[in-house]
Chain A
Amino acid sequence: MRIVICYKCVPEEQDLKIRPDRTPDWSGAARKIGQYDLNAIEAGVRLAESAGGEVLALTAGAGANDSKLQKAVLSRGPAAMYGIKTDEETLSDSLATAYLLKAGIEKIGGVDLVLCGEGSGDIYARQVGPLLGALIGWRTLNAVSALSFAGGALRAERSLENSREVLRVDLPAVAALTTDANLPRIPGMKDILAAGKKPVTIWDAAEVSAPPPRGAKTVSILAPEKQERRQIIVEGESEESIAVFYGHLRKVLR
């Protein structure tokens, strides 16, 4: 079984700054593997450890060429890493990202299963997994909280609002994992040193695909307006205090 895990290198959210015009400034932000993608990587590696197979990692965007991030993903278990260089604007569009990843998966070839995180760590639109599945035309699942392989098929558990759905899915398939699917392993020094020796392949976007179509146009991204806190403190537990508190709430909600 050949498993490809799609992941995104996202800016460290703690490094986010907001400019006076409320636009986000990521210029000083370090990059990391998206935190939701770590669950997909762990799920893929565990699946291969239990059922056999090969795990490969695939990303598109600025992080593709970053050797530290390459080692970071490879230290978590994948045997090889593939990257597609493209600009940030393309990556901000879920459809365009899914097109590029599809092209990458086809270029890798022989893939049985594609795993994605629930959403990207920066935009968190949660669209790339399902879009990718639809574009390739494979069985597609989201909200997957457990994965195993038995009897030649995938067994997937999905966490729904009020229930848990268990599905038997034939391969090939695309699945997006939830964050409760597992606790990602922490790479040790041996894993980190081994990562530097694993193969890395980087493509320009033009090598794998025609310019991908865009599904949406970003008009603007703005941080919420700052609101001054009103600093109204109502003390005590008496009926009067509660009435005063209620009065303030009503004023705001009107």
Chain B
Amino acid sequence: MDFRLTEEQELLLESLRELMRRDCPEAYMKECYENHEYPQRFIDALTAGGFGLLGVPEEYGGTPADTVTMMLVMEEITKNGGPHFSFGQPLSIKDMLEFGSPEQIEQTMTAVKAGQAAFVLGFTEPQAGSDSGAIATTFKRRNGGVYINGHKSFMSNALRAPYMLCLARDADETAADKRQAFSMWWLPMQKPGVKAEPLKKIGWHMLDTCEVYLDDVELTEKDLVGKEGDGFRQAMINFEAERLLIAAGLLGSAECAFEDAARYACQRVQFGRPIGDNQLIQLKITQMKIKIENMRNMVYKCAWEIDNKIPVRISSALAKLYCAQAAMEVADDALQIMGGIGYTVDCRISRLWLDTRVHRIGGGTDEVMIHVAGRAILKNYR
């Protein structure tokens, strides 16, 4: 096995580090977090540096990159204290590039090229979190139009994104297979009948998360994305790579927390010597390091599997599950090592601790990952 990065990957990460030194210093992150502001300066710098189009096919003006490289970039951003949501558009727009009409693709790419999120992923609803089959938002044809009614929950970026990729159920469904009742719709967020209300969260303050109410929002047939009745299948095509992207971001934030804590352990003097001289601190540092190594191995291997067309249903779920839990443990141990100062907003470990926690819920909960992986693993032994 060759664990070395290619020269191109090393140079790309060097460029990213330089870009972050200039446009994503910790003081800026702290300011954005405290003011609940979107880090536009950093996003603009990533866009200008070509990172917004990394992984996008050349035919759409992008620079193709393999999954390993994409994960390395994600890891590097969070390792340097950057926000998880700042990278990964190329993975999230895959649905649109695959199933969107030429006009929808153009609208998507216009936003992506400008460094904006093209759309809100409109799947989750109050009664349909992990259980997407319980989606109650409907589409109904009436007087030559298509009308959407429903309530979407936990919509990240709803205040900024120009569109919602809305999964809705046919109000007049008759199909025997209930899954065929769902279709995807391209819903402009500025349409009459769309109302977004921001949620107050305990963390994740640089990105808005909203409840979105859809009240008889009028669309036309051209707003259908892909094939009618294929909404579920279309939604699933990129779940595994997106799960892995979350895992890679968690790996980076765990490394960030670890390095802050390790440096602090060498500097903080108590009872006449650095606290790192105490074996209880060394135990924490060692266990944190083991978890980070495990996270890295799982993320890189799964990325390599995707690049080599090896199925990753199990390994992507395991990576997401493990990284979400292990990163939280690492952040918590880092905060413990840093003590009182770690619990203040002056120290970024408090931000990492708060922002890491959400990933045991978002992008598929721990429990859903166990469900996905557990069933698939046992299937191999039947």
Contact = CB atoms under 8 A, between A and B. Distances in A.
Interface of A: 67-68, 71-72, 75, 186-193, 195-196
By secondary structure, the A interface counts as helix
Interface in B14-69: 14-15, 18-19, 22, 49-51, 54, 63, 65, 69
Contacts of B69: 189
A75 B12 CA distance: 10
B11 interface: yes
Interface of B: 7-8, 10-12, 14-15, 18-19, 22, 49-51, 54, 63, 65, 69
B22, B63, B69: residue with the most chain A Cβ atoms closer than 10 Å:
B63
A188 B51 contact: yes
B7 A190 contact: no
Contacts of A196: 8
A188 B63 contact: yes
Contacts of A75: 11
A191 B10 CA distance: 13
B7 A189 contact: no
B11 A187 contact: yes
B60 to A, nearest CB: 14
Contacts of A193: 8, 63
Contacts of B8: 71, 189, 192-193, 196
Nearest to B9: A192
B18 A189 contact: no
B10 A68 contact: yes
Given A192-B12, A193-B63, A186 B19 contact: yes
Given A188-B49, A189-B50, A68 B63 contact: no
Contacts of A190: 50, 63
22 contacts: A67-B7, A68-B10, A71-B7, A71-B8, A71-B11, A72-B11, A72-B14, A186-B18, A186-B49, A188-B15, A188-B49, A188-B63, A189-B8, A189-B50, A189-B51, A189-B63, A189-B65, A190-B63, A192-B15, A193-B8, A195-B11, A196-B8
Q: Which 5 A-B pairs have the closest CB atoms?
A: A188-B50, A68-B7, A189-B63, A192-B11, A186-B15
Nearest to A32: B14
A68, A187, A188, A189: residue with the most chain B Cβ atoms closer than 10 Å:
A189
A193 to B, nearest CB: 6
Contacts of B54: 188-189
Contacts of B50: 188-191
A188 B47 CA distance: 10
Given A187-B15, A192-B12, 10 more contacts: A71-B7, A72-B11, A75-B11, A187-B11, A188-B49, A188-B54, A189-B8, A189-B65, A192-B8, A192-B11
Contacts of B7: 67-68, 71
Nearest to A184: B18
Nearest to A70: B7
A219 B35 CA distance: 57
Nearest to B23: A186
Contacts of B11: 68, 71-72, 75, 187, 192, 195
